[in-house]
């Protein structure tokens, strides 16, 4: 059994992961409206991944005898100024999630909760990868530019990144 403090913190993380899933789903709809097929697929996959992160915590809490709460999700934005601004928002959100994971880890260490500490290690690695991915996408967008003429190239780059991520996930699934 984990502490009430850790239970409350994990429930807040469930909410944060759920918000991310809905945010990225909303972004995929915006990308679809803009005709950005690669970005649409990428953001849908990101949405699914965030939902998996939420469910992983949900299941962990059940495993350790804690009560996971189904979160109420705040309304997410539905329009974005540009693809660059959208990815800047994603990067900022991923940094927020990382900070929250670090706070969870601090609680686990403070409470000598070795089980939760071990569970959170996966999230720490995952967040480093997510931040790196979003930073590299922003670097590419800044390099290409964000005008109507270059949106095609941005979408093509995001589509290539998405294909590489899918291939990596498939390889990890086979391992």
CATH number at residue 124: 1.20.1260.10
pLDDT at 146: 62
Number of domains observed in the structure of the chain? 1
Q: By residue range, what is the domain housing residue 143?
A: 4-174
Confidence of residue 124 (pLDDT cuts 50, 70, 90): very high
The residue among 49 and 151 whose pLDDT is bigger is: 49
Which of 75-84, 98-107, 140-149, 152-161 has the weakest average pLDDT? Answer: 140-149
Cα 31 to Cα 41, 48, 61, 78, 87, distances in angstroms: 9, 16, 35, 10, 11
pLDDT at 163: 87
pTM higher than 0.85: yes
């Amino acid at each position: 059994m984990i502490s009430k403090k850790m239970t409350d913190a994990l429930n807040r993380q469930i909410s944060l992961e759920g918000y991310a899933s809905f945010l990225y789903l909303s972004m995929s709809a915006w990308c679809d409206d803009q005709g950005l097929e690669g970005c649409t697929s990428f953001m849908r996959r990101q949405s699914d991944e965030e939902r998996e992160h939420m469910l992983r915590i949900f299941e962990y809490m059940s495993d350790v005898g804690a009560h996971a709460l189904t979160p109420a999700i705040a309304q997410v934005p539905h329009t974005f100024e540009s693809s660059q601004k959208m990815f800047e928002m994603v990067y900022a959100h991923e940094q927020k999630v990382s900070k929250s994971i670090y706070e969870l880890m601090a609680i686990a260490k403070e409470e000598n909760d070795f089980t939760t500490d071990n569970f959170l290690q996966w999230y720490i690695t995952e967040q480093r990868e997510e931040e790196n991915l979003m930073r590299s996408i922003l670097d590419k967008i800044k390099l290409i530019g964000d005008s109507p003429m270059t949106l095609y190239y941005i979408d093509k780059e995001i589509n290539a990144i998405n294909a590489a991520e899918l291939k990596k996930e498939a390889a990890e699934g086979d391992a």
